[in-house]
Structures are given as C-alpha cells and as structure tokens.
Structure 1
Amino acid sequence: MVDDRDESLEKRREQLEAELATKRSVLGEDERGEVRAEESRKGYAEAMKLSSEFIAAIIVGAVLGYLFDRFVGTAPWGMIILLLLGFCAGVLNVLRSAGKVATPMPEKHGLDKK
C-alpha cells in the first residue's frame, strides 16, 4: 500500500514537472517576444524623433524665408535660400542624433595658445 502511494506520488511529481517545463518554455517564448516588441517600439520612437527633427528644421527655414521676403521684399530668393539652409540643418541634426557626425566641441580660447 505504501509502495502504491509512493508510485502515485512519483508519477504525479513527474507529471507536474512536465507541466512546469511546458509552462516555462511558453513563458520564455513570451518574454522573447516582449523583448522584440520593446526593441521595435524603441526603433519607432527613434524614427519619429529623427523625422520630426528633420521636418521641423525645414519648416523653420521656410517660415523664416517667407518672413524675410515679406519684410525685405526679395520675393522668392529669401525663401529659397533659407529653405535650403533649413534642409541642410535638418540633415545635420539627423546625422548628429543618429551618431554619424560628432557634436562640435567648444574650443577654449587663449588657454592652450602660447
């Protein structure tokens, strides 16, 4: 009777271990999926940041060019030039944010010169 009880407990323990193993594997897959989703969200956030910086620089250049043309009277030239400068500034901002171009370091004037 004791042997039957021990055998049934052993079978039950093995069955529970098998169920735990399957649950752990399912949870591991869920965790891996969650990690991939988190990386994807970070990528989307970075893309939105870079695109908004780029578009903002172009819009600022266009608005400043339009205002310059309105006050000075240089019809399309102010807007064309400042729009191109805004485009260049946007590209530079995106490259800096992406880490492709180093940010400028301020130089110490007069301290290193002898």
Structure 2
Amino acid sequence: MTDNDDDSLEQRRDALSAKLAARERSEAIETAKEKQSEESRKGMALGLKISSEFIAAIAVGAMLGYLIDRFVGTTPWGMIILLLLGFCAGVLNVLRAMGMVATPDPGVSRGDDPSHKR
C-alpha cells in the first residue's frame, strides 16, 4: 500500500508541475502582450502630442497674422509671414520632440558659452 501511495503521490506531483509550467508559460505570453500594447500606447501618445503641437503652432501663427492684418491694415502680409513663422515653429517643435534638435538651455546665452571662442 505504501508503494501504491508513493506512485499516486508522484503522479499528482507530476500533474501539478505540468499545470504550473503551463500557467507560467501563459503568464509569460500575457506579460509580453501587455508590454507590446504599452509600447503601442506610448507611440500613439507621442504621435498625438507631436501632431497637436505642430497644428497649434500653425494655427497660432495664422491667428496672430490675421489679427495684425485686421488692426494694422497690412493685409495679407502679416498673415502670410506669421503663418510661415508658425510653420517653422511647428517643425522645430517636432524636431525637438523627436530628439533631432537639442532643447536650448535657458541659463546659457551665446556670450556665456565657454566653448565659444573669440
């Protein structure tokens, strides 16, 4: 009877080990899927941020140009110039967000730059 109990216990232990291994595999797959979806959400958020900054810069430039034209009477030159400046500011914001252009350090001006030699 002891021999039969040991075999039964061994079989139950093997079955339990197989179930635990299957559960660990499924949890690893689920963790990988969650990580991939998190990366996807981060990419979507960055894309929305960049596009909204780009569109906002153009819209602000156009509005300021329209207001200047309306009050000063320089139609259409104020809107054209400020719309182009807004577009340039939007492109610069996109490049900064992508890390292609360094963000300016507010504490250092051109005259204070130690690497700038005269």
Same fold (TM over 0.5): yes
**Percent of counterpart pairs with the same letter?**
61
Unaligned runs of 5+ in 2: none
| Cα distance change on mapping 1:67 and 1:8 into 2, 3 Å | same
Find the counterpart in structure 2 of residue 46 from structure 1.
Answer: 46
Q: Give the distance between the partners of 1:44 and 1:76, measured in 2 at CA.
A: 37
Instruction: Give the secondary structure class of the aligned counterpart of 1:57.
Output: helix
Whole-Å Cα distance in 2 between the matches of residues 42 and 29 of structure 1? 20
Dislocated runs of 4+, deviation >3 Å: 108-114
Q: How many pairs were matched up?
A: 114
**Which residue of the partner structure matches residue 80 of structure 2?**
80
Residue 76 of structure 1 deviates from its aligned partner by 1.2
Structure 2 counterpart of 1:98, one-letter code: M
Runs of 5+ unmatched residues, structure 1? none
Q: CA RMSD in A?
A: 1.7
- Alpha-carbon spacing, 1:111–1:23, altered in 2? closer, same or farther (3 Å): closer
TM-score by length of 2: 0.89
The one-letter code matched in structure 1 to 2:69 is: D
1:69 corresponds in structure 2 to 69
Normalised by the length of structure 1, the TM-score is 0.92
Q: Rate the CA distance shift 1:89–1:36 in 2: closer, same or farther, 3 A.
A: same
Deviation, structure 1 residue 98: 1.0
The 5 Å alignment of 1:1-114 reads: 1-105=1-105, 106-107=108-109, 109=111
Structure 1 residue 21, shift from structure 2 partner: 0.6
Shift of 1:9: 0.4
Quote the offset at 1:99 in angstroms: 0.4
Residues 54-100 of structure 1 show CA distances to partners (whole Å, capped at 9, x for unaligned) of 01100100000000000111111111110010000000011011100
Counterparts of 2:34 and 2:87, CA distance in 1: 37
CA 1:26/1:97 → structure 2, altered by over 3 Å: closer, same or farther? Answer: same
